[in-house]
Amino acid sequence: MAFVYALTVMAVMFNILGFWFYNRDAFLRGGTRPNGASSFLWAINTLVNAGSYYGMHVPWPTLAVIATDTTLCVVTFAFLLFAERFGRLTGKNYFVAFLCIVAIFLWKFRSAEDGNLLAQVPMILSFVPLMQDARAGKTKEDPRAWLSWIISFIFNFFIVCLTSKDRIQPFAYPIVAIVMHGILFHYAQEQRRFGVKDFLKI
């Protein structure tokens, strides 16, 4: 169990490090231009994911990573509101938010597993606005943020492997997170071409 605790600490630390890179670049350096719609949807969706994980009674090491991610997603969204950098939502954004609400109903009236499974759909869709901005060159993302999150969720994946007790559903969130963060890391690296030495500069 000590190994699981060590993985949990590493996962949480890399998650925090990702938000450090992201928010520093967004609010102090200006390279990253957060997409308000994606930030809003991440805040809602991570809350639904964290709540349904809690409802599934997963071991606390699994919950610790998503709880950290959820808290910092909400804080980042609050920063955007405070800095008046939150744009108008589109009909597609409201549809994604609606899916989160449906996931809550499934969680409450059917099962936490079903709610968590559905929550992965808006999770994927919530990345689309930022991906479109990255492809259009409207934002130059810091690759270190996305790499830190990938590492965090890889640790989380192994935590689930060691604690899930043959349950399949707890794997959904870390797998989706690794894939979607990986796509944005690819876009970020294309834009800024950070080398190994750049990644070591905190």
Residue with tokens 């996931």: 103
Give the pLDDT score at 92: 83
Tell me how far apart the terminal alpha carbons of the chain are, to the nearest angstrom: 30
DSSP 3-state assignment of 1?
Answer: coil
DSSP structure class, residue 201? -
Give the pLDDT score at 31: 64
Least confident of 84-88, 109-113, 180-184: 84-88
DSSP structure class, residue 165? T
Sign of CA pseudo-dihedral 62, 63, 68, 70: positive
Per-domain residue ranges for the chain? 2-199
Q: What is the pLDDT of residues 137-160, one digit of tens each?
A: 777 888 899 999 999 999 999 999
How far apart (Å, rounded) are the C-alpha atoms in residues 51 and 165?
Answer: 20
Give the pLDDT score at 25: 81
